[in-house]
Homo-oligomer: A and B are copies of this chain.
Amino acid sequence: MTDLDTFFRPRSVAIIGASPSRLNLGASICLVLSHLNFSGAVYAVNKDALDVHGAKGYKRVQDIPGPVDLAVIITRADTVPDLAEECGIKGIRHLIIESSGFSEGGLPGAALQQQLQQVTARHGIRYMGPNCLGVLDTSSRFCCFFGIIPGKYDEAFTTRKQGVASYILQSGGMGALIMDSLQTDVTGIHRVVSIGNKEDVDEADLIDYFSQDEAPVIVLYLESVKDGRKLMDAARRTTIPILAFKVGRSSRGAEAACSHTGGLANNDRIFDAACRQAGIIRLESVTELHALPKMFTSMPLLKGKRIAVFTNSGAFGGVAADLLSQEGLAVPQFSETLVTQLRSTGLLYNASNPIDVGPGLSMEAFLAIFRILLASDEIDGLLPVANVWQDVFIDALKELMSLCREYGKPAGIYIPNATERILEIRKKHQLPIFESPEQAVRGLAVSLLHHGYLAKKETTR
């Protein structure tokens, strides 16, 4: 398995098809690697042997002196099999084939893909793609995505965030949406892999590989599943939460996905059942691809379904209770003892569940309530839904983060403010705030789901 390491931290990489001509896609990769100060050697292969953004130019890979760990091929599809052959002869055992025009485009492309498969098999080459972007790894500072604006994702490469998610995506466009969205969110990125048509390296290989260094969460976006058993076996082997969105619930959606990355339509219900058996958390929207990982990277797991709702805006108590019930979570009635304890903290509008604290509560009162709830054996987790019209509530939420860790119980946080303000507060204070009450409740639900999967995995071992 560990040979996949070369895809993520190559000591030397050749970008085949990178030339200094305008709008050249390979050149954009050389530029990003230079911008990132990637520590490995970078070579550009083009017909005129021209240097590209600091990458020494060669006419062919065999002209490059010394060994090459990885080649990225980004040329016309019909040139790819021969180039792969040359890579094999040069002794390159890892390829990322970004060119499109293979099985996603109909019969002629499918024949090319088969040809490629034969060449790589003969040379013992592992490869990603075709029709992909390959790898972005913030720890090794390696990135072979084409078309990325240098500097745009600098923050992802430098900031130490609370958690680091690894993404396996069957679409480059989805990667862009996720990375853009995470710029105002708390989830840090470890790796984004765009696997495209995934003729060789697939999501299962990558789950196995990512499991070795205990990633806090793995997120999948799939348009097709080629080898369901392999994927489910990989999922069963790991205890890392796996979140997966798959296109193709409808027949028209499945058809569209296949024309994008050349897979075959899968029976969605079978996939659903298989996910439940293998312990994969199925996502309900593409938004959840970037919204839900923070529940795993910044909060303890939810270990039971009893949730205390906590609001300073009356209407949201009812809204939250509805959503929790819908997701199979509970809004338990508090015992008299607990209500009395809560009342002692100050002037609450409503000390039963959902708790309505009304406006004007002090920081001390907030924290006292949080402590009482987290310490109570009647409650497994919190759903704070509070308009942050006062700064005191932001401060209270910051304290809540450490209280959650202290008591080993999570909070799914939502603030009923305009989205603009949510994004601003979340980014500034690095708080794991969800953008809607639905998302916060889903965060709690998937946390409990993973807790259940873990228990099942432990029993079956």
A residues contacting B by CB (< 8 A) are 170-171, 173-174, 176-177, 180-181, 183-184, 221, 223, 247-257, 259-261, 285-287, 309, 313-322, 324-326, 331, 350, 352, 354, 356, 387, 389, 416-421, 423, 435-438
Contacts and interface: CB of A to CB of B under 8 A. Distances in A.
A252 B325 contact: yes
Contacts of A326: 249-250
Contacts of A417: 177, 180
Nearest to A360: B23
Contacts of A173: 313-316, 387, 416
A435 B255 CA distance: 25
A286 B437 contact: yes
A254 B253 CA distance: 37
B184 A420 contact: yes
Given A287-B436, A387-B176, A318 B253 contact: yes
A260 B314 CA distance: 6
Contact of A418 (B184, B223, B286): B184
Contacts of A285: 436-438
A314 B171 contact: yes
A209 B249 CA distance: 44
Contact of A420 (B316, B387, B423): B423
B184 A419 contact: yes
A249 B419 contact: no
A256 B419 contact: no
9 contacts: A170-B315, A173-B416, A180-B417, A248-B322, A253-B318, A256-B318, A256-B354, A259-B352, A419-B435
Nearest to A314: B260
Contacts of A419: 181, 184, 419, 423, 435
Contacts of A436: 285-287
Contacts of A437: 285-286
Contact of A177 (B223, B418, B423): B418
Nearest to A389: B176
Contact of A319 (B286, B313, B315): B286
A67 B339 CA distance: 49
Contact of A248 (B250, B318, B331, B438): B318
A294 B378 CA distance: 43
A309 B325 CA distance: 34
A260 B260 CA distance: 50
A435 B438 CA distance: 15
B252 A331 contact: yes
Contacts of A171: 313-315
In order of increasing CB-CB distance, the 5 nearest A-B pairs are: A250-B325, A253-B322, A173-B313, A171-B315, A257-B318
A12 to B, nearest CB: 30
B418 A183 contact: yes
A260 B387 contact: no
Given A180-B417, A253-B321, 4 more contacts: A252-B321, A259-B314, A259-B352, A260-B318
Contacts of A170: 315
